[in-house]
Every structure is written in C-alpha cells, then in structure tokens.
Chain A
Amino acid sequence: MAEGKAEGRLPRFAVLQLSGCSGCEVSLLNAGQWIEEYRLVYMPLVLSAYDVPEVDVLLISGGVRTDEDLYNLRRAAVRADQVVPVGTCAISGGVASLGDRDEVREIFLAQEGRRHVPHLLPRCRPVDAVVEVDRYLPGCPPTPQLYIDLLFGQPDLHRGRFVCLECGRKKLRDMRPQHLLGFQQGETIPGICLINQGYACVGTSTRNGCGAPCPRAGHPCVGCRGPSDTFIDKESTAWLASIQRVFAGLTDIPPDEVEAALRSPQMSLFLFQFSDYATPQRPPRPKGKVL
C-alpha cells in the first residue's frame, strides 16, 4: 500500500468528510500509529488545509447528501492513487439514509427551502455511485484496529467472515425462546448466544473484524459492518433467509415474527444498509475489495 516509501518519503494521506458524524475520523484518531508512518495532508477535523492535494490514499467518510459533497468528492478522487470509502454511510448509506424512506422523504427534503446553504440531493448516495473505488472499509465506525489493518496490513488481507467468530458466546440447541424479546432489556446471561436469549442479533451474517464489541457487551449485533462475504454480492433476501435458518435452528420463535423484525427499516438488518437495498441499481461490490 505505502508506495511512497520506495521513494524515501512518507506516503501521503487525506481524509475527506462528506455528510456524516465524524465518528469515523474519531476512530481513526485512536489508531494513532499513522502519525509516524504517514503524512497527513488533509483532514479538516484536525488540520487547517483547504483543499485536497495529490495523495497516495484518500479516505472518504459520510454519504453524498448535498451538491457540495458531490463536487468535493469528484474533485478529490482524481487526485488520489487509492480511494477508500470508510464507514457505513460512505458505503451503504448508514443510519442517515433512513431519510430516504418514502414516508419521510418529503418532510426531509422540505428543508431544501433555505437559500444560502448547499442543496440536498434527491437521495443520499454512496461514494461508489459517484467515483471509482479501490477498497472499502465498512463499520459504524470502523474500529481503530481495522484502520491499522487498512493502512498497514497486507493488500490481500481482508475479513469477510461473520461476527460470531469474535463474539465467543456459545450457541445452544436446548435453550429455545418462544418469542423475540425485541429490544435489549437489562442484563443478559454471560457466555450464551443472544439469539438463545431471544434477541434479534444479526451477527451470524454480519461481517466480522470489529471484535464483536456489542454482543460481547450484551447488546445484539445491529449489523453495522454489513453483509459477510457470503452475502455481500447477493440480494437482501439471501441474507434474510440465512438469518431465518439460524433462528429456526436455535429457537422456536415463529418465522413471521423474525421476518417482521428483520424487515423493519429501523431494526438491525436495514438500519445501516437501507439505501443500498432500496436503490434499484446497486453497484457491484466485489468481496475482495472489502476489508
């Protein structure tokens, strides 16, 4: 990755923030190792510089929400050797893309009336709908370790398996809840799969690499890193069907109950991927490019 090193200089990197929450940038700050190994040349959150110069690596966070986002993204991308959207907003819409639901879109876009600010685009778009992308780093936010893997890891390193591998809770065949608990409610039994405890955890099909902080803490996985390699290039129905099979194996919860929870735009499965699956021509996202 660090091509600049061959020329005896530190590789240069920039962070372009579109419409997002800065969480991805804050997480990057905790992966402090880059201070020694990279030369940061643009990242308005921590550095006063008003334009993206030529860089080896361009990280992009946030979704393409305003006309200004669109302009800044196009301008910056051509100056970078490698373009890497980071965080779920830049890759598949993230939580903020819930504004694209038909029932709220109108009130959302009514904000357009203000005259002296950048205008909202009709939809929030992912980065790869606008420019060509070299790699992807999903997560809400990507953990510091994932940033370290991205910036320092082997180019072929990627984590495409599922969250359970890092969670460590045991799946039981003989602890079968009858109904979905719905939302996290108080204390959970340590060491035992949250699905066995009745929670709508989607860790079985969500991309790992995060270290499973949520289920380890007792909160069901909400799927922020998106689909694992098995599902990343498939329709959402494949993802749904797989989770249904998991619930059938571990619980006696009626499938329609699971289905209703999974299909809710604000629950796990679509909370972070809504715009992805709601967009008719979703750009292909080759699994080899997704960290």
Chain B
Amino acid sequence: MTFPISRIEGHAQVVLEVQQGTVVEARFQAVEFRGFSYLVQGAPAEQMPVIAPRICGICSTAHHLASVKALEDAYGVTPPAVAQRIRELLMLGQIIQNQATSMFIFTFPDRLGLSSIFEEPEHVQRQSSEVAARALRVRKAGTDLIALAGGQFIHPVKAVVGGVISGIAPEAADEMRVQIHDVLPTACELFDYYWATSIAMSDRLGTWGDDAPACYLAAVEDVRPNYVGSTLRIMCPDGTIGDVFPASVYRDYLSMEETEYSYAERSRYRHGIVRANSLARINMARRMGTPRADAYLDRFREAFGRPAHAIMLFDLARGIELVYALERATEILSQPLDREDPSLPYTPRDGDGYGLVEAPRGPLIHHYRILDGRILQAEFIIPTAHNVLAIERALRVAAERYIDSDRIDMELEHAVGRVVRAFDPCIACATH
C-alpha cells in the first residue's frame, strides 16, 4: 500500500508491505533529489552562506547559520557577543515560523477533521478561517523577526563570517518587541485550542501514538535552549544523559546510510534508533527559563512524564517551544543590539570546518573541506535523516493497530499522515 504524504515539506510517500494481515515493512520514501553536496563542489567556500540556504526554503535560516559557522570553524574566528545575540534571534525566528507552520497549518487539520485550514467544508469555514488568520499572524512574527535580523525572511543574508553585517537599531527592536508581545496571547490561545483538540483526538483514537521508548538527540542546553547550537547530547530511553560530543566527531556516534528506496539518507546512533526534533529538546529541558513556556512545560510533564515517548507529543512539544521562542525573543530585543562592532575581521584559510545549529527538526551539521578557497567536499548532516528509522518504526506500530488478517481500518490512512507529520520531516533538506 502506498500513501502519498501531504502537509509536510517536500515530496514523500509511505509504503506498507502487508502479508496476511501482518505488517512486514514500513518504508518512508523521499522521492525527490536535490544534490547540493555534489553541486557545490568547486564553489568558493565564502559563497556558501548564499548557496546553502537554497537547500530549503523552510529551514533556510538554519542552513545560512550552519554554513557561516562551518566557515568560522575552518577560519578560526569567533563572532562578537552582539552578533551571537542577533544570530540567536534569527534562530528564534526560525523556530517561531516553523513550529507555527507545523502545528497550525500542517497538523491542526488532523485535529479538526479537515483537509486544510485554508480549504474546508462550508459548515466549519468560519471557525477554521479564524484559525488560519490567527495562525498566519503568529507565523508572521517569526518571519518578520528573521527579516529584521537576517535581511530577508527566506534565504537570509545578514550572518557573515566573523559576525553579522549590522546591529539592530533600538527603534526597530522596540517595534518588533511590541509585535511579538501583541501576538503572544494569540499564540497561547491557539496552542490551548490545539492542546484541547489533541486530547480529544487521542481520546477518540485511544492512544497518543504508542511506540517503544527511544534515545533522543539534541544540541541545546537544558535551560533556556539556544538554537544556535552547542554540543550534541544523547538522552537515553530512561532519561539519563548519555554521550555528549562536538559536531566534528559526529561519525563516532552517528552512522549515515543510503537506501535504494529513498533519496534521503538515514542515520543510526550506535546501531539503534534515535529521535530528534521538538520532543528530544523538551525531554532534555530542565526549565525553558521563561514564564509562560515553563507553565506549559509543567503541564506537559504532569500529564506525560519525563522523558515522554508517545509520538503525538512531538506536536505538543512544538507549542512549548513556540511560546518560549516568542518570550525569549522579547528578552533579547530588550538588550542593546547596536552598540558594539557586529563583526570581526578574519583570514580565510584551507582546511575542515564544522557548523552546528539546532534546527527545528534537530541538530544540523554542515561540514566543508576547503582547498584553494574552494569546496572540495561538503557534507550536510540533516536532522530529518536522524528520524527516518524512528518514523518507520512508528509507522509500523501504527499500521499494526489498524490492520489485521481480515480487515483494514480506514483510520489507517489518517494514522500514517499523523505519524509522519509528528516528526515534521523536511524532504528538501533530507535529499539536499
């Protein structure tokens, strides 16, 4: 059985192989090919922050920063504090935009019984078009923040090797802060509604998406996560922290493999399944560090424990991050962002560089090998690749629930969509 998947980024489908009522295999197939690791060969290394964002229009900010950080690693330059704050704003914008899109545009329809929040049966039109208008307003706070900090909201340009091109003037920062402040209650209302409809859905289905516990992977701290990325950490299925390692030695922990059935790679952590994305970060978080987000985190912990493993909790975890990102952005925007030099001089040199950010879907690594100022080899370690095996296992568990030897429950198709969307895979990235 083949299921094309909509309401995710890019072209993917799920294939279930069923024999006499038993699910033999579940495959998650990425059916497009982008080829950036090949086509950037020979490119001037310093042009990568312009080229790499084009891997993905949804994750372009994450690629832009990972690219700049890889070059800084190769050239041995550390950006000044003000540039780091502005880069954090960029990533917060990325998180706001992505989580609002994933929750309100990709997965809300599953909870409201619609095919889209934009196109729906007449009787609910009013209710859902109000969701649509509010969702777009929340999302726009994220894209406007990226535009302010990055120059343009898709394929930004303002992060450069050594820092950022310019600071943010107090008036512009204030205006942005007011906009976010105004939109925060709307985001919380939508999240509350989303949470309530998620509970209703899980009651109807009798599950939050049961699957065996897994390891988690993220590159953020356990208080006040900074999505610009630090070291990679593994949380074991029992909640203890396992391996902690820098991006440059990722191969010692994560093995990447190709398959014949998909253009996306998939990774393993020490031969096992690992999960990245929102639930990994929320499981690792001790506190979010901002009031409203912490209140949601408490509520989440009370209901689901720590670590939480059910599949559809990825969706709720996104809401906590959305609220946190809005709150954290207003904190940074209250600090001076134009009083110091936003960038440091640097000297390009050949060698290897690793750039790590915590993208919405998990740790993203760019690795460049530079010779004569040009890209000799480029590797893009994509967060979605870490989740491929986890998606396939969860699909199998979900399919088994709805398939037996004499019948297939028509809920199956919806279940397949819900599982895949919980992981919010990005196919343009995964097939870079």
Contact = CB atoms under 8 A, between A and B. Distances in A.
A99 B60 contact: no
B47 A266 contact: yes
B231 interface: no
A115 B29 CA distance: 12
Contacts of B56: 21-23
Contact of A114 (B46, B140, B261): B261
B355 interface: no
A256 B341 CA distance: 34
- B interface majority secondary structure: loop
Contacts of B51: 95, 98, 266, 271
A19 interface: yes
A263 B50 CA distance: 17
A264 to B, nearest CB: 7
A29 B136 contact: yes
Contacts of A21: 34, 54-58, 60, 428
A48 B155 contact: no
Interface residues of B, number: 76
Contact of B54 (A29, A50, A95): A95
A40 interface: yes
Specify which of B47, B50, B139, B158 lies most central, judged by the most chain A CB atoms within 10 Å of its CB: B50
Chain B CB within 10 Å — which of A17, A41, A187 has the most? A187
Given A95-B54, A115-B260, A186 B116 contact: no
Interface string A24-62: 111101101001000111011111111000000000000
A134 to B, nearest CB: 24
Nearest to A24: B57
Given A114-B261, A141-B57, A267-B47, A219 B157 contact: yes
Given A118-B31, A187-B343, A46 B118 contact: yes
Given A22-B56, A103-B42, A214 B118 contact: no
Interface in A169-191: 182-188, 190
Interface string A141-162: 1010000000000000000000
A213 B148 CA distance: 10
**From B36, B42, B136, B152, residue with most partner A Cβ within 10 Å:** B152
B163 to A, nearest CB: 6
A41 B10 CA distance: 18
A183 B345 contact: no
A45 B7 contact: yes
Contact of A35 (B8, B29, B132, B345): B132
Nearest to A222: B50
Contacts of B161: 185
Count chain B CB atoms within 10 A of each CB in A35, A50, A66, A186 and give the residue with the most.
Answer: A186
B41 interface: yes
B216 interface: no
B76 to A, nearest CB: 16
A250 interface: no
Contacts of A50: 4, 6
A221 to B, nearest CB: 10
B151 interface: yes
B152 A213 contact: yes
Contacts of B39: 95-96, 98-99, 101, 104, 108
Contacts of B57: 20-27, 141
B115 A111 contact: no
- Which A-B residue pairs are the 3 nearest by beta carbons? A23-B57, A217-B151, A47-B116
Given A17-B11, A141-B57, 6 more contacts: A32-B136, A35-B118, A48-B115, A68-B31, A141-B155, A222-B50
